[in-house]
Amino acid sequence: MLPYRNIEEAEEALSRALSFAEKLWFKYSAKKPDHILHYHNIIFLMLFYTLAPLPYVFISLGGFKNMDKYKIQPKVKDSFFNMFKCYKDVMQTFLLVVGPLQVISSSTVQWIGIRTSLPLPHLSQVFVQIVVYFIVEDFSHYWIHRMLHCKWAYEKIHRVHHEYTAPIGLAAPYAHWAEILILGLPSFLGPALVPCHITTYWLWFVLRQLEAIETHSGYSFPWSPTKFIPFYGGAKYHNYHHYVGGRSKSNFASVFTYCDYIYGTHKGYQSHKQVLEKAKL
Ligand SMILES: [Zn+2]
Ligand SMILES: [Zn+2]
């Protein structure tokens, strides 16, 4: 909720005219309580989780035969029933776990400094904050994910996420409810360390989800813009982690590759790639 009765008051307080985006934000948010704006996050998560995997679902069900050559594990066929079950299970977890978490954490999110006020952040600030969030998330996710591969945590929690030895986009958030909570922490850590505007906060969670969907898609497209991101892991990288499953001692990072290289957990994938390259000769 904004502390101004109208746009003129807001412009007077900022000592300048509002930009087009700020006028839109004023119209949308001025009368909405902050906790309602925070709850938008779960709606965006469900909306993007429903829409973003659809092209992969269509390709996988035979919509584009010429795309089959980009499938990382081509022998594995996914049925519509299996995909729908995955979607249903994830939606259930979103509604029963992530939704209540959003409600409970609303005051904490405000307390850490996620603001809804004017002015809106500059695009360069949004870019830098999102980059920081990806780096913080990647590092903390790496260690938590690695711990989830110890015998007890794997059997009790992480095994669910590894049911897909050939992952699909819909299975990106397919996991035990405890894992959703535990691995949700690294996503909150960046905004907690470097607080942002709520629009950046929404954007961060949407981008993180899109990245996870692409990484789990089971397809590696040569034209993907993510191929140009330095140290980006991508679909092949994470696919190997699922392919090996519980025995995996490799590729724990969620976004980039450098943590695995620094801590020596890239070796399994490295030798796997060497075997594949030899087989091609
Ligand atoms: Zn794992
Ligand atoms: Zn995964």
DSSP sequence for 27-82: HHHTTS-HHHHHHHHHHHHHHHHHHTTHHHHHHHTTS-GGGGGGBSSTT----HHH
pLDDT at 77: 87
pLDDT, one tens digit per residue, over 197-207 is 999 999 999 99
For residue 28, the CA-to-ligand 2 centroid distance in Å is 36
Q: How far apart are CA 228 and CA 234, in angstroms?
A: 11
pLDDT at 66: 85
Look at residue 248 and tell me whether its pLDDT is greater than 80.
Answer: no
Residue written as tokens 């939606």? Answer: 91
Residues 74 and 110 in one domain: yes
For residue 48, the CA-to-ligand 2 centroid distance in Å is 18
Residues 55 and 180 in one domain: yes
DSSP string, 194-206: S--BHHHHHHHHH
Residues 159 and 223 in one domain: yes
Name, in order, each residue with C-beta under 8 angstroms of 232's C-beta and a sequence gap of 6 or more.
226, 255, 256, 257
Residues 60 and 173 in one domain: yes
For residue 137, the CA-to-ligand 1 centroid distance in Å is 16
Residues 108 and 26 in one domain: no
pLDDT at 213: 97
Residues 158 and 74 in one domain: yes
For residue 236, the CA-to-ligand 1 centroid distance in Å is 14
Residues 27 and 47 in one domain: no
Q: How far apart are CA 130 and CA 124, in angstroms?
A: 10
- The average confidence (pLDDT) of the chain is 94
The total domain count for the chain is 2
For residue 47, the CA-to-ligand 1 centroid distance in Å is 26
Query: Which 8-state DSSP code applies to residue 122?
Result: P
Query: Which 8-state DSSP code applies to residue 272?
Result: H
Q: How far apart are CA 164 and CA 173, in angstroms?
A: 12
Ligand (nearest to CA of 255): 2
For residue 179, the CA-to-ligand 1 centroid distance in Å is 11
pLDDT at 256: 97
The CA dihedral of 179, 185, 187, 193, to the nearest 10 degrees, is -170
Confidence band for 176, pLDDT divided at 50, 70 and 90: very high
Query: Which 8-state DSSP code applies to residue 265?
Result: T
Residues 61 and 182 in one domain: yes
Ligand (nearest to CA of 158): 1
For residue 49, the CA-to-ligand 2 centroid distance in Å is 15
Mean pLDDT to the nearest integer, 90-96: 96
Q: How far apart are CA 90 and CA 72, in angstroms?
A: 23
For residue 193, the CA-to-ligand 2 centroid distance in Å is 25
On whether the CB atoms of residues 268 and 248 are closer than 8 A, the answer is yes
pLDDT at 281: 66
Residue 91, both tokens:
């939606």
Q: How far apart are CA 107 and CA 117, in angstroms?
A: 16
Look at residue 189 and tell me whether its pLDDT is greater than 90.
Answer: yes
pLDDT at 1: 80
Look at residue 279 and tell me whether its pLDDT is greater than 90.
Answer: no
Residues 136 and 96 in one domain: yes
Residues 144 and 82 in one domain: yes
Residues 11 and 54 in one domain: no
For residue 159, the CA-to-ligand 2 centroid distance in Å is 11
For residue 194, the CA-to-ligand 2 centroid distance in Å is 26
Q: How far apart are CA 55 and CA 61, in angstroms?
A: 10
For residue 254, the CA-to-ligand 2 centroid distance in Å is 8
Residues 152 and 173 in one domain: yes
Q: How far apart are CA 161 and CA 159, in angstroms?
A: 6
For residue 254, the CA-to-ligand 1 centroid distance in Å is 10
Closest by CA to 70, choosing from 220, 218, 237, is 220
Q: How far apart are CA 198 and CA 115, in angstroms?
A: 6
Q: What are phi and psi of 122, to 5 degrees?
A: -70, 150
For residue 29, the CA-to-ligand 2 centroid distance in Å is 36
pLDDT at 125: 98
Ligand (nearest to CA of 146): 1
Q: How far apart are CA 11 and CA 8, in angstroms?
A: 5
pLDDT at 277: 81
Residue ranges making up the domain that contains 205: 33-280
For residue 259, the CA-to-ligand 2 centroid distance in Å is 16
Q: How far apart are CA 18 and CA 246, in angstroms?
A: 54
pLDDT above 90 coverage of the chain, percent:
87
